[in-house]
Each structure stands twice: as C-alpha cells, then as structure tokens.
Amino acid sequence: MAKLPPPKVVAVTEAARTGLDVLKRNLVPAPIALLDLVNDLWGFHVAYSLAELRVPDALRAGPRAASAVASELGLDEDALYRVLRAASQLGVCEELPERSFALKPVGRALCSDPQASFRDFIVYMGRHGTRFWRRLPDVIRQGKNAIELETGKQPFEYLTVDPELAEDFNRAMTAVSNIACDAFSAAYDVSFASKVVDIGGGHGRLLASVLQQAPHAQGVLFDAPSVVAGAGPTLQALGVSARVQTVGGDFFAAVPGGGDCYIAKSVIHDWSDSDAQKILGNIRRAMAPKGRVLLYEAIVGLRNSASFAKLLDIEVLVTAGGRERTQDEYRALLAAAGLRLERIVPTAGPMSIIEAYASNSAT
C-alpha cells in the first residue's frame, strides 16, 4: 500500500471535500440535492454487482471488450456494457472505443484477493447489509437492531448459525482492517510492547501489522473460537504465525492475561454502555500493572460537523445495536471500567486511537 499522508493533511482534505459537497447541495434545489442520495444508492449497487460477478478480476490484466468479459463470465453482453458504462461515471473504469473498458484505481480495489480485499466489504454490504438497512424505520420505531427484528436472533448469535454470512462477515472485517492497520501503525508506535493482546481481532490482520512493527513482541489473537479457527492463512501470509497464540473465548467472561498492550479495533462500538463496560473491565483485570489499552474507533464529531462516525453510528444501530461515541463518552466509559483516557491519537483514516491506562497507574 502507498505511503499514507499525515493525519492533518487527510483532515484538511476531508474538510475541503465535505465543504464542496455542502456547497453543491446548497446551490441546487432541494429535490435535486435529495436525488444525489439516490444516485449514491444506484452507484453502490453498480459497484456491488460488478464485484459480486468478479468483473473487475476479468479486467485486471488490461482493457477488454464488454462482449469478451460477458462471454467469459456467462453474462448478458448488453446488460454488462450498460453497467460498465455507468461504472465509468463512478470512476470504477474508463470506457474506450469499441465498447472496451479499462480499470481505474477504484475498480482495482474491487478485485478479489485470497487474503481479502475491499471487494469483500462491498460484497458483504450488498449481500447482507442492504437486507437489514431497509429495516431502519422499524429500528427507529422499536429501538431494536434490524437483525433481531428480521431474524429473531441477536447479531453475533445470528453469525454463528449462518456459516456463509459468518465467512462473508469475517472477510469483510479483514478487508476493512487491510486499510485501517496501515493508518494505525503509521500513527502509533507499539515497539515498547512485549505481549500484545488483540481483543476481538478476527483473523489477525491488525495484530500482524502491529507485530511487524514490534519484532520482539509476542501476540495473542482473541476472538470467538469459530473466528480464530480461520486466522491461520492471514497470520502465515503476513509472516507472524510463529509469534501469535490464537485463543478462542468470550470477552464477556474473561480475556487472556498478562499483556502490556491490549488492542480492540471496532469492538466497543458494537455494544451498549453496560456491555462495553464489562469488556473493558475484563481487560482492566487482565492487563499488566503498567499496561495500556488502545481502542481503535471512530469518534463522533462536534454538533453540525461532518463526521464519518455519525453515519457509522447508524450502521451499528442497524446491525449490532451498539453506538459510536464522543470523546467525553469514551472518557466516562473507560472511567467506569477503572481506566483513564490519556489521549486521542488521530490517524490518516476515519478512525482514532484512544489510549488508556489503569486509573491508578502513572504513564
């Protein structure tokens, strides 16, 4: 992956891009501004369909005619041409003469990879996310997550009874980690650590990145038994399998002890305050006396400010029943678990690193 720009540069760029979007909405009639939201919906389904059908993979080696791709993949030629033409407007590809198309960088991000690519997140949202997002009005009416309303099961219970969904979910989370881990490592130095425990670490993509930065550290990958069972290929491919112990368990019961660095990426946001306090309390009891906790989460911005976390908050409301939080809310949550928020470290992405210590320890 290309070297990431400094977080401040990213912040300025995002503010400028958001400002242009706001200006555009304010300069057109309100119905036209709303139509842009529909355009976004259409655009997502174009990208999802191409990813689902592995069309970007067929274009990976270079420009090809839509007819040749359709023949190879068993698709309707006219329908594929029209979808690729629409995708060229989204920056996914470029239309060339004679109904040929070449991938652009956005399109290459939709190509598949054995270790998970961002394609897997788009496919997960297309196959499963849209099913539950349509229940948002019911979520608002009843205050329950959409998976519970749709299936009668709690979100993570539902994952355990649908193997296809679980596989799609785990690959999607690894795909997101492929982006987030580089931003984490660039923003935070973990070379101090001798034992890093990744709580809810999935297939270990972030833990592997951290251990590459801390070559003398040992790692513990902790998640549900069915999840860590699939971590081997990722850890092997990234060259850290010899330094990682995989442990299956339930973080509401207990977490592995003795770590001087506990990392939890996008874990706390999945849970209510009371459940989050239980997880954090277990980490507090397990950590070494001078250990630290690093929560990697999106933080809700100021009132009326553009914030990725404000829309991500609705995603977790719909699919997990959790919530995104402000800095002050994280401070209070950590304090209730016997931890002290020390600082917030911005990254070159939409997430920040929340650094905390035991409330009775000195930094």
Which residues are marked as active site? 269
CB 200 within 8 A of CB 264: yes
What is the Cα 51 distance to its own chain's centre?
A: 18
Q: Look at the block and give the residue holding tokens 């359709």.
A: 70
Question: Tokens in use for 188?
Answer: 């935070």
Angle, helices 327-336 vs 273-286, to 10°: value is 60
Question: Tokens in use for 141?
Answer: 């009416």
**Counting beta carbons within 10 angstroms of the beta carbon of residue 145, is it exposed (0 to 12), middle (13 to 18) or buried (19 or more)?**
buried
CB 189 within 8 A of CB 354: no
At residue 102, the 3 state secondary structure works out as: strand
Question: Tokens in use for 299?
Answer: 């933080």
Q: Look at the block and give the residue holding tokens 């580089």.
A: 182
Beta strands in 50-205 (DSSP E): 64-65, 93-96, 100-103, 195-199
Task: Report, in this order, helix, strand and coil percent for the chain, each rounded to 5.
Answer: 55, 15, 30
CB 326 within 8 A of CB 316: no
Distances (CA, A) of 320 to 143, 215, 241, 246: 12, 35, 30, 25
CB 87 within 8 A of CB 104: no
